[in-house]
Structures are given as structure tokens and as C-alpha cells.
Structure 1
Amino acid sequence: MSGEREAQRRLVEGRVRAFPDFPCLGVLFRDITPLLKDPIAFRAAIDILEAHLKASYPQIDLIAGLDARGFLFGPVLAQRLGIGFVLIRKKGKLPGLTESVSYALEYGQAELEIQSDAVEPGQKVILIDDLLATGGTMCAACELMKKLKADVLECLVVLELKSLKGAEKLKPFPVYSLLQYD
């Protein structure tokens, strides 16, 4: 990473707050609210993600953002790249025909949906969310892309909790995280 990119990464990292024992005892919650509140740090995060994608992929057709914080980063990044953005939502939030995938959470089941016509077969898609923890939600998003016969180029996140091994669950899909925490 260049000196400028490293300075940007440090700026972004400095805008992530840690909250011990939230939402429950023993969990260290990483809060991106200060990052979103600081336009210079937010721009730095988008700059880094944009540079990574431009260097890694000669063609990207769409960015698909995961409900809900993927919606904060994805549209800005898509606009910068001159491509479209599509929504992957929690069940029951999208009109029209949808495809859905059910997946397990630590405390139950959840379901993600995408509109059936959101992605064409063969389109090259980047999936984006703010956080990769256990990988369940991102894995479900990859399954949705498979259903639509899209080509997932990469799973892109701002924060990755390495100790939870979410990236391993996503193989063979590559993962890029701007910041990693143990």
C-alpha cells in the first residue's frame, strides 16, 4: 500500500470506535458511526476501496449491497466506478418477483432477497457490506448471486473480524477487507 493509501487507512481506522460488552457481555462491537460522520475519513474509505477494485478487476458490472450498511458504501462506490448498484434486502422488503436464500444466525434463521431481474446471468458483481464476522450473511448473498447465475468477483467489506473466520466460510470467493481485527 502506498504512503498515501496507508495514511488514509490509518485515518479510517481512527474513526472506528470499540464498545466492550455490546450488544452482550464478552462482545467487542466495532462502531462505524464516527467514520460515517467524518466526510474526510468516509472519502478515504471509498478512495481505498475504489483503488483496490480498479487495480484488481478490469470489468465490474454491478455492486450489490447487503442490507443495511452495505447500502451506505455501495452506491457511492458504484457511482465512482460508473456502474449500477443493486439491493440485497431482508425478506419482505422488496417489491416484485424475488429470489431468496435462508441462512442460519447465531440465534435463529434469517432470509435475504434480491429482485429476480436485478442481475443478469454472467454479470460480474462485487458484494459489499460494512462487516464480515462469521460470514453467514455474505455467504447467503453469494448463494443469491449463484441463483441468478451472476459471477461474484469479490466480497468487499470495511471491517473484518478475523478470529470469527468468515472469509474461510466464503471460499472460493475472494474477500477484501479494508481493516482487520482479531
Structure 2
Amino acid sequence: MTATDPCPELLRYLRGAREAVLWKLDGLSEYDVRRPVTPTGTNLLGLVKHLVAVESDYLGTVFGRPFGEPVPWADPGAEPNTDMWATPDESREYIVGLYRRVWAHGDATVAELGADAVGRVPWWPQDRAEVTVRLVLVHLIAETDRHAGHADILRELIDGAAGLAAGGDNLPAVDRAWWEGYRDRLERAAREAGAADGPPLG
């Protein structure tokens, strides 16, 4: 990276977040990658499907370089939240493959245009709709890392698997018994602190 070109470093962070999201699908059944784990329906494959739309828009449409494959769930008239879950006929392989092809398209946009190229985000307020590639990369890092965090928690709730990335989970090297004791300790601390609030209502 040169002093005047932040794109390689920004892309490195974005690529790490992309891979982290996909890693959370590894080893799970079709049911588990799709099942809604939260009351609002958040699910692992849906996060990937959503990010397909995000990247195809921000590193495609915004800079006049539309992604060359249909992404119907990104259309303004699509059913609400249709980008957040996969239908039975949308295979994991299709969605993951589409996401990887969107990455390649986005990376090509960055390489071709450079950090200071200007685009327009039509769904943003008029006073900040004009953006640069650099700003969009920062936005995409924030967006993708946010959803990687969602995926971390979903995966842990599904089967207990946790960690930052394949080959480097960034967790203490301890066994299951230690984690159980640790969680119990946190529960006791929370109950002790919560006692100051008085008995729960209802």
C-alpha cells in the first residue's frame, strides 16, 4: 500500500470479514444454515444472501458498474426482508457462489476506479449521496463485520462453535468445563448486580 492508496489495506479488512461470514456456515446442515435463530428471523445463509445485495449495490450500481447477474432480492420493489432468508430452491452453493462472484466484481471495481473515484448512492439522503470508493469500502467493512458478529452468535447458539476465523479462533485455550464455570461465574455476578434493582416485575 502506498501513502496515497488506502484500497489494498481496506480490501484486506473487507476480505477478512467476508471469509469470516462464510466460515460460520462450514459443517452445518441445510436446516441449520437456514433456520431462524432470533425472534426477527436472523439466520446464517440469510446474512450471506443479504451481503450479496449489499456488495452488488455499493460496488456495482453506485459506481455505474452493475453486477452482471440477477439479484432480484436487491430490487427496490422486492418483498420486505426477502434478502434475509433463502428459499428452499435457493441452494447454499448458489448463494455462496454468487457472493464470491460479487466479491470479484467489487474488487475489480476498486482496482479499476481507485480510491477517489466518485459514485452516487441514490437511497442515501441527497446531502451525502455522493461518495468515493474509499468511503464505500469503509461502509462495507462496517456492514460486513456487523453481520460477521451476528453470524458468530448465531453459530454459537446453533452448535456451540465459536471463534474469529478458521485456524485462529482468538479464544482462550481452555476446555469445556472451564467455559461452563466461567459462564456460571458471570451468571452469579449478573444476579448479584441485578439484586440492587429489586425483584423482577410481573
Normalising by structure 1, we get a TM-score of 0.25
Normalising by structure 2, we get a TM-score of 0.23
Greater relative contact order: 1 or 2 (C-alpha under 8 angstroms, separation 6 or more)? 2
Q: Which structure's residues are more often strand, by fraction? A: 1
